Structure 1
């Protein structure tokens, strides 16, 4: 997810490292904060792979500042990742939201719809946080623990809202690709 976020934000404009970190933190929030110990090595790996470059700019003090900018290969890598996301980027909600934040950079509406259909198929598969002794999913109606019941009810409502949005957006994208 970190690489996707770096590529996505730099696709939009060159940024300094601290600006990039701030945008990634805004995207993932308190759920998955990004540390300097994760961000800067990831930037270095992307630079070594030829996906981004650093430009040195004069700083307000004596120290120069480094602006990060995607290369053509970096832009292509983002589009590739968006068109064919890893399964975890479909099944993990936070990773999916990071993917969705940049999906507009994949310019083909049919390709965008294909990604959303994968997420919709995942959400429509039966699942639960909890299972009974025979391996059957426990529903909110059958859950005696009020806290677990709450988790199941919130997840159900969130999933219903997301499925509705996905269905509507897939329809719009399919109409646009005709």
Structure 2
């Protein structure tokens, strides 16, 4: 998720490390604040892989600052990762939001739709956080715990909203592909 966010933001434009950290934190920070000890090793891994470059630029009032730029290989890597999104990037909501933040960078509507269909297939599977002794999923109405009822009620409303959005967006992308 972190590497995808770094590649995605740098795909849009070169950024200073501090600005990149701020953008990643805004995207994912409500769940997981981004520590320097997490961000900078990820940047170094991407740099070592040849996917980004670091250039020094004079600081306005302080020491020189490093500007991070995606390489041609880095741009290709972001697009590859977006095309091949699967697993927890589809099933985990926080990973999924990171994918959605950058999915527009896939230029072909058919490629975008393929990723959205994977999420749609996941959401269409019956699921519940709680099950009875026989393993049957329980609904909010079957629980007497108001907090678990709340959890299931919110999850159901969120899933319905996302399913509606996915269906509308897939229809739009199908129309764009037909043009």
TM-score w.r.t. length of structure 2: 0.98
For structure 1, the residue ranges without an aligned partner over 5 or more in a row are: none
Q: Indicate how the Cα distance of structure 1 residues 145 and 62 shifts in structure 2: closer, same or farther if over 3 A, else same.
A: closer
Structure 1 CA distance for aligned equivalents of residues 146 and 174 of structure 2: 42
- Cα distance, 1:33 vs. partner? 1.4
Query: How many angstroms apart in 2 are the aligned matches of 1:154 and 1:62?
Result: 48
Q: Is 1:36 the equivalent of 2:36?
A: yes
Distance 1:139 1:114 in 2: 30
Gaps of 5+ in 2: none
- What do residues 97-151 of structure 1 show as CA deviations (whole Å, max 9, x unaligned)? 1001000000010010010011011011000111111111110110111100010
Q: How does 1:1-178 map to 2 (within 5 A)?
A: 1-178=1-178
User: Displacement, 1:62?
Assistant: 4.3
How many pairs align? 178
Partners in 1 of 2:37 and 2:122 — Cα distance? 33
1: CA distance, partners of 2:51 / 2:137: 44
Q: Which runs of 4+ in 1 moved over 3 A?
A: none
Give me the CA root mean square deviation.
0.7
For the residue of structure 1 that corresponds to 2:122, the secondary structure is: helix
Helix, strand or coil: the match of 1:177?
A: helix
TM-score after normalising by structure 1: 0.98
Q: Quick one: distance in 2 between partners of 1:166 and 1:92?
A: 16
Q: CA deviation at 1:29?
A: 2.8
CA displacement at 1:11 relative to structure 2: 0.1
